[in-house]
Amino acid sequence: MMATTTSERVDTPVTAGNGAQAKPYSMTTLFAGFGGQGILFSGKVMAYAGLLEGREVSWLPSYGPEMRGGTANCGVCISSNPVGSPLVTDPDAFVVMNLPSFLKYIDHVRPGGVAVLDSFLIDRKVERNDIRAFYIPATRLASENKIDGLANMIMLGKLLRETQFAAYDSVIAGLRKSVPARKAALVDANIKAIGIGMEYNK
């Protein structure tokens, strides 16, 4: 699968909250789980958010033998500088929604990085003490809030809370760009899911 990369810029420079020019920034993220969980979509929303803030961005999806039910993962790079390679082998952040992917990739997270686990689907704890681990029962929360199928966006919201990889408004704008016109009615539910993830603090 070819990487999707871009150096497209927006007209407005990236600024910090006080209006000052933002500091140099770089973050690599690996999203992983089963096909059908929206893993690739989460990465796409994140990548669009970075693009809308004027960053250099890459989004590299990968599928297992079967798109639905097989494994799926994608790497996202967001940087102030050109992205040298779209491959994410030692991510700063790891968002994982199944046990096989957790076991495969958790040791590759960069020291000082972040791991966000769907604790409803993964009954393990991170044993490393050099990364920050966050546990959120995203699949259960999606069901309880009648937004089944949007656990991936709850996970993205939790990642946003813990890493602030982009401004909230940029993420919502990235979401709107990622949702096909024929599914525009689903935007509000996705926004709700992101909010649930951002508010979860257990």
The stretch 61-69 carries a mean pLDDT of: 67
Query: Is 84 in contact with 103 (CB distance < 8 Å)?
Result: no
Q: What is the pLDDT of residue 71?
A: 82
The mean-pLDDT minimum among 69-73, 114-118, 136-140 falls in 69-73
Do the domain assignments include residue 8? no
Number of domains making up the chain: 1
Closest C-alpha among 166, 151, 169, 155 to residue 46: 166
Do the domain assignments include residue 10? no
* Per-residue pLDDT tens over the stretch 23-52: 678 999 999 999 999 999 999 999 999 999
Do the domain assignments include residue 65? yes
Query: Is 72 in contact with 37 (CB distance < 8 Å)?
Result: yes
pTM: 0.86
Query: Could you write out the three-class secondary structure of 47-102?
Result: HHHHHHCCCEEEEEEEECCCCCCCEEEEEEEEECCCCCCCCCCCCCEEEECCHHHH
Who wins on pLDDT, 21 or 182?
Answer: 182
The stretch 65-84 carries a mean pLDDT of: 83
Do the domain assignments include residue 172? yes
- Whether the per-residue pLDDT at 2 is higher than 60: the answer is no
The stretch 173-192 carries a mean pLDDT of: 96
Do the domain assignments include residue 16? no
Do the domain assignments include residue 2? no
Closest C-alpha among 161, 160, 147 to residue 192: 147
Q: What is the pLDDT of residue 84?
A: 84
Q: Residue 14: pLDDT band by 50, 70, 90 thresholds?
A: very low
- Whether the per-residue pLDDT at 3 is higher than 60: the answer is no
Do the domain assignments include residue 130? yes
Q: Residue 20: pLDDT band by 50, 70, 90 thresholds?
A: very low
Do the domain assignments include residue 93? yes
Write out the residue range of the structural domain in which residue 150 sits: 23-199
Mean pLDDT score across all residues of the chain = 88
Query: Is 136 in contact with 200 (CB distance < 8 Å)?
Result: yes
- Whether the per-residue pLDDT at 18 is higher than 50: the answer is no
Q: Provide the token pair at 180.
A: 């096909």
Q: What is the pLDDT of residue 189?
A: 98
The stretch 125-136 carries a mean pLDDT of: 98
- Whether the per-residue pLDDT at 7 is higher than 80: the answer is no
- Whether the per-residue pLDDT at 15 is higher than 60: the answer is no
How far out from the chain centre does Cα 192 lie?
16
User: φ, ψ for residue 81 (rounded to 5)?
Assistant: -110, 165
Q: What is the CATH number of the domain that holds 131?
A: 3.40.920.10
Sign of CA dihedral 156, 159, 160, 164: negative
Q: What is the pLDDT of residue 52?
A: 97
Contacts of 199 (CB under 8 A, 6+ apart): 157, 161
Who wins on pLDDT, 201 or 15?
Answer: 201
Query: Is 159 in contact with 123 (CB distance < 8 Å)?
Result: no
